[in-house]
Amino acid sequence: MSLSTRSTSDPSTPGEVPGQGLEKVPPSPRRVAIASAVGATIEWYDFFLYGTAAGLVFDKLFFNGLDGPAAQIAAFGTFAVGFVARPVGGLVFGHFGDRVGRKQMLLLTLLIMGVGTAAIGLLPSYDQIGVWAPVLLVTLRVLQGIGVGGEYGGAVLLAVEYAPARRRGLFGSAAHVGVPGGLFLAASAFSVVSLLPDEQFLAWGWRLCFLSSIVLLAIGAYIRLQVMETPAFAKVQERREVSSVPLRDLLRAQPRRLLLGMGTRFVEGFTFNLYSVYLLAYVVTDLGLPRSWALEGIVVGAFLGVVLVPVAGALSDRLGRKRVFSAGATAALLFAVPTVLLVQSESRLGIFVALVGGLGVLYGVVYGPLAAYWSELFDTSYRYTALSTLYQVSGVVASGLTPLVAAWLVARGDGTLWWVSAYAVGVALVSLVSVRLLPETAGRDLDEPWRVAAPR
């Protein structure tokens, strides 16, 4: 990339991060990883509360003017709206994250998520204010989408750009722990309030989960304020190579890697939202089984994912990013049919095994190496924009539409999950082909993104 595409007007003294003098001692990679994991967990808790509520609450309180499957599809439609908004947040915060710095954007996205989530907990229902209830719900979902869309790239780079090269998979996975960690907190919160009688649960119990976001916001902001700007971005500032238009530079220099990276995202996003959102609703609404059966599987699966994500990240440091990811994507393909058989057995054990296997084992292995892998594919000067674009644009199809498409396939079919299993196989194949066409990156110097890693 020529320097003509980068701004040379950065006012910082070479080697100094704006607002932070060089006299400060940089935090250890471990401390930064913990800060990244905690902050990401809080933001994803906010985002995933909506998915859980969409499967259990919103069709009854905000779309109860519709009947049966129509109410469920409408609730999942608003769930998808959050994913449509995420690219907007990714592009805006990615741009300024590459121009101004990672830390400031992370604090701002945390504030947006916390306020938006708490406000959902205060919304009147459809019976109270009519059509304004779903309108306001969608508006706040958009706000959530913008916040988490901008948060992802910064949280990952905070961990990856501080990490030593040989342990980048392990430390980078700390940001990805936030996804199963946030789901674990969200599902656990709903499991607790679900112990209330149905009338109280629908009247006020579910709202407590959303209002608790204010407390978590304060904790997350305090933790992120303790972390300095990343060394990799500081070097870009020192060399006065800050990109003036990061998205333009990304699309000029590495469009193929961006598209293939989006392809690897498909199996990750689909797997998570199939097992954590759609199957929850399917078990409760379509099969008419107790919601506790599904929630307990999601809670245990998410907890197992918290453990396996860093394990898979560490393995990718030793075995390579491609090998670990491909193993997880292949397992997801092979587990598609057993998932149908287990869930449609309508047994508590079968549903538990399906959800724990999907959310814990499959998702943990697939997601663990991706923070480091995606970061190592792109240049530092537009890396925030690259990760945000890759994750959020592909997420509209890979994640946000999963429950909606799955509900449509079941409604159009015979009420079973067989067409959904075919959907799962196709998604896994897209990701396996994509990773096959990408280079291995483990151990790569982040300052030399064009050098291809040695074959593994």
Banded pLDDT at 5 (limits 50, 70, 90): very low
More confident residue, 370 or 397: 370
Residue-level pLDDT at 453: 41
Banded pLDDT at 229 (limits 50, 70, 90): low
Residue-level pLDDT at 314: 96
pLDDT surpassing 70 at residue 15: no
pLDDT surpassing 80 at residue 123: yes
Per-residue pLDDT, averaged over 345-360, amounts to 95
Per-residue pLDDT, averaged over 73-81, amounts to 72
Banded pLDDT at 112 (limits 50, 70, 90): confident
Residue-level pLDDT at 246: 87
pLDDT surpassing 70 at residue 43: yes
Label each residue of the chain as H, E or C: CCHHHEECCCCCCCCCECCECCCCCCCCHHHHHHHHHHHHHHHHHHHHHHHHHHHHCHHHHCCCCCCCHHHHHHHHHHHHHHHHHHHHHHHHHHHHHHHCCHHHHHHHHHHHHHHHHHHHCCCCCHHHHCCHHHHHHHHHHHHHHHHHHHHHHHHHHHHHCCCCHHHHHHHHHHHHHHHHHHHHHHHHHHHHHCCCCHHHHHHHHHHHHHHCHHHHHHHHHHHHHCCCCCHHHHHHHHCCCEECCHHHHHHHHCHHHHHHHHHHHHHHHHHHHHHHHHHHHHHHHHCCCCHHHHHHHHHHHHHHHHHHHHHHHHHHHHHCHHHHHHHHHHHHHHCHHHHHHHHCCCCHHHHHHHHHHHHHHHHHHHHCCHHHHHHHCCCHHHHHHHHHHHHHHHHHHHHHCHHHHHHHHHHHCCCCCHHHHHHHHHHHHHHHHHHHCCCCCCCCCCCCCCCCCCCC
pLDDT surpassing 90 at residue 329: yes
Residue-level pLDDT at 143: 85
Range with the lowest mean pLDDT among 8-12, 85-89, 244-248? 8-12
Range with the lowest mean pLDDT among 49-63, 65-79, 158-172, 384-398? 65-79
Domains and CATH numbers, the chain: 26-245+256-436 (1.20.1250.20)
pLDDT surpassing 90 at residue 310: yes
pLDDT surpassing 90 at residue 365: yes
CA distance 53 to 76: 10
Residue-level pLDDT at 59: 75
pLDDT surpassing 60 at residue 18: no
CA distance 81 to 139: 9
Could you give the percent of the chain with pLDDT greater than 90? 33
Residue-level pLDDT at 452: 39
pLDDT surpassing 90 at residue 311: yes
Between the CA of residue 16 and those of 22, 454, 455, what are the distances in Å? Answer: 6, 34, 37
pLDDT in tens, 24-34: 556 677 778 88
pLDDT surpassing 90 at residue 178: no
Q: Which of 89, 442, 386 is nearest to 262 (CA)?
A: 386
pLDDT surpassing 70 at residue 406: yes
Range with the lowest mean pLDDT among 11-15, 21-25, 218-222? 11-15
More confident residue, 116 or 434: 434
- Mean model confidence pLDDT for the chain: 83
